[in-house]
């Protein structure tokens, strides 16, 4: 599967979020959305990205732009200080890297061989 490019529609998927255990990503279709994969908390680039998002908080207003953090571990939330901050900033959990696998986004963890 090829990788997504900037501006391309994201594939539909379902993942748990704090407010909905079966959140369907297609419910935000047609709106500008930024998906941010911060990676492992020891990753300094991820920490810089999260800090930049916080500095640009006003841009995420659910009208012009929405942000979804995609976290791969419960520990990521605390380590990065990620929380839902409505309007505009949300997260969902992809603890099994299912979304990454279905959309050709590289995982930070090696996938098991079948």
Report residue 102's pLDDT band, with 50, 70 and 90 as the boundaries.
Answer: low
Residue 87 preceded by cis peptide, ω within 30: yes
Residues contacting residue 31 through CB under 8 Å, at least 6 positions apart? 62, 66
pTM reported for the whole predicted model: 0.75
Domain residue spans in the chain?
Answer: 32-102
Task: Report pLDDT digits (tens) over 48-92.
Answer: 888 999 999 999 999 999 999 988 888 888 888 888 899 999 998
* Measured distance CA(90)–CA(113) in Å, rounded: 32
Taking only the tens place, the pLDDT of each residue in 23-56 is 888 888 888 998 888 888 887 888 888 899 999 9
């Amino acid at each position: 599967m090829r990788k997504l490019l900037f501006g391309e529609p994201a594939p539909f998927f379902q993942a748990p979020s704090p407010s909905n255990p079966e959140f369907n990503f297609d419910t935000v279709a047609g709106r500008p959305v930024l998906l941010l994969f911060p990676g492992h908390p020891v990753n300094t680039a991820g920490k810089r990205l999260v800090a930049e998002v916080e500095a640009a908080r006003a841009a995420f207003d659910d009208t012009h732009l929405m942000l979804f953090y995609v976290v791969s571990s419960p520990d990521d939330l605390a380590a990065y200080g990620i929380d839902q901050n409505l309007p505009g900033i949300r997260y969902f959990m992809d603890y099994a890297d299912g979304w990454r696998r279905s959309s050709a986004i590289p995982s930070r963890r090696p996938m098991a061989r079948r």
